[in-house]
Structure 1
Amino acid sequence: MAETPSAAMLGYTCAGCGNSNGPATPSLAGASKDYIIEVMDYYATGERVSTIMGRIAKGYTKDEVKA
């Protein structure tokens, strides 16, 4: 059985969007945990349309997003 990645390791994908300088990439800095969890679910289900985030969000389990 594969070891579950740490929260820090899972967050590496998100680190580049911490403080975005443009409208194409939303800033994550200062967003609440609840907001991030909610939006990741929207991306994963396709409820929120995107070019990249839907593919990224589908790669995480709900527990990994919460971590």
Structure 2
Amino acid sequence: MVWVGPRQLHCPLCRGTLFWDREVQLNTAGMSFLNLDWANASATGVQCADCSRLELFADSGQVRFSTPEAQP
């Protein structure tokens, strides 16, 4: 389960509640041109386990992951 602030995240496409997490690189054309992709910012990505929709969160401090037993 994923929590964004005090709210549980539901997939806006299929209403699923199980997500996979990943770090997503936010590349820019200028940094890619200079071959400095590693210096770009990153975001927290959550991918719906049912439909694969990907949601990005720039403030990773707002995103929490928990098991169903550990609900807040």
TM surpasses 0.5: no
**Structure number having the greater strand percentage:** 2
Select the structure of larger CA radius of gyration.
2
* Larger relative contact order, structure 1 or 2 (CA cutoff 8 Å, min sep 6): 2
**Structure number having the greater helix percentage:** 1
| TM-score normalised according to structure 2 size | 0.27
| TM-score normalised according to structure 1 size | 0.28
